[in-house]
Amino acid sequence: MTPAELSSTVLHAVRRAVDAGELDVTVPARAVVAPPGPGGCGDYATNIALQLARPAGQPPYRVAEVLRPYLVGVDGVADVVLTGPGFLNISLGGAAPAALVEEILSAGTRYGHADASDASDASDASDAPDAPDGSVVRLHCPHDLRAVVVADAVARVLRCQGALVRVTAEGFDREWTAALGVRVDGVGPAPVSPPVTVRPVPAPADPLPLGRDAARWALLHPAAHDRPRIGDENLAQREGNPLFRVRYAHARSRALTRNAADLGFAAEPGPVPDAPQELLAALGDHPRVLAAAAAHRAPDRIARHLVAVADAALPFLPAVLPRGGEKPSAAHRARLALAEAAGTVLAGGLTLLGIDAPDHL
């Protein structure tokens, strides 16, 4: 069961409770499904009971108690545990990783894009871009390199969520396009229609000597209110550099595919009993992260999410291929598919940030 399917399952449970007369509420259009927070458990958690408590006229925990029987026993749901004021913590069956991996590999680097799947159903309405109806989101930034890079990344993320975007800047240097791949649609004062102003804390030094990929990462990885670090640490080929970890995890996943082909087998989604739950949760959370990054004009959320995916994937990758005289099995094919899914998410996220995802590193 994918996050989008689980979101639909939660809404169906609400509908069944309403039809049975146990809840008197209007079934919402969306149900938030995300990895459990502190104190949670299972694969995913939803705050739907807290959302419905006031219209239902009941405490959130009681609403959760009403909904739990409608979720337990559904195909793909292994258990539901109530925690906190009324969070429903959902554990999925063994086929859950296979469905998630299949969804990612089917969508490719467009996994999480609004036009690639309906995975955005798993997001809160507040995490949706505000112009999916054909209107234009207008971004305007000062004559500042970091502002232009952030606006360029925000535009990419908004477009992947179905929005039309126009970027203007008070000033623009042509070398920025050649060096960092940024572009604007117009130069001059802010347009008449109220734009969204993109004004991050400026970089303390010129990032152009870092090169396109490291410079963009240095400017995009920190939140807009944080001052970026512009130094050689962004070029270091070691684990202390988060950009290196992200790109290395992607390159390792691609190397595993090549090595598996040499051994005569390919990826095939299936149950992965030893799959790291942190990795599955991070992969399943990718559509929500993209939607939130678009809604809040915050590409740094994607950068930090990619670091989380890489850090969850790297310890798993050495166990993917057969060892010694071991013959490839269904388990190896399933592990390889999960590794490829992780690499796909990393490549897709880096692309949205305007950063290359090399197959060899």
**Predicted pLDDT at 76:** 78
Res 4: pLDDT: 79
| Average pLDDT over every residue of 47-67 | 95
Amino acid 123: pLDDT: 37
pLDDT band at 117, cuts 50/70/90? Answer: very low
Task: Give me 156's structure tokens.
Answer: 């990419």
207-230 tens-digit pLDDT: 999 999 999 999 999 999 999 999
Q: Give residue-wise pLDDT tens across range 8-40.
A: 999 999 999 999 999 999 999 889 888 887 777
Q: Is the pLDDT of residue 191 over 60?
A: yes
Q: What is the mean pLDDT of the chain?
A: 89
* Confidence class for position 127, pLDDT limits 50, 70, 90: very low
SS (H, E, C) 118-130: CHHHHCCHHHCCC
Encode the chain in three state secondary structure: CCHHHHHHHHHHHHHHHHHCCCCCCCCCCCCCCECCCCCCCCCEEECHHHHHHHHHCCCHHHHHHHHHHHHCCCCCEEEEEEECCCEEEEEECCCHHHHHHHHHHHHHHHCCCCCCCCHHHHCCHHHCCCCCCCCEEEEEECCCHHHHHHHHHHHHHHHHCCCEEEEEECCCCCHHHHHHCCCCCEECCCCCCCCEECCCCCCCCCCHHHCHHHHHHHHHCCCCCCCCCCCHHHCCCCCCCHHHHHHHHHHHHHHHHHHHHHCCCCCCCCCCCCCCHHHHHHHHCHHHHHHHHHHCCCCHHHHHHHHHHHHHHCCCHHHCCCCCCCCCCHHHHHHHHHHHHHHHHHHHHHHHCCCCCCCCC
Residues 343-355: what's their mean pLDDT? 98
Q: What is the pLDDT of residues 301-321, one digit of tens each?
A: 999 999 999 999 999 999 999
Q: Mean pLDDT across the stretch 43-55?
A: 92
In this predicted structure, what is the pLDDT of residue 79? 85
Residue 125 has pLDDT above 70, yes or no: no
pLDDT confidence of residue 115 = 66
pLDDT in tens, 85-108: 999 999 876 555 788 899 999 999
pTM (predicted TM-score): 0.76
**What confidence tens digit (pLDDT) does each residue in 278-305 have?**
898 889 889 989 999 999 999 999 999 9
pLDDT at 315 (0 to 100): 95
Is residue 182 within 8 Å of 149, Cβ to Cβ? yes
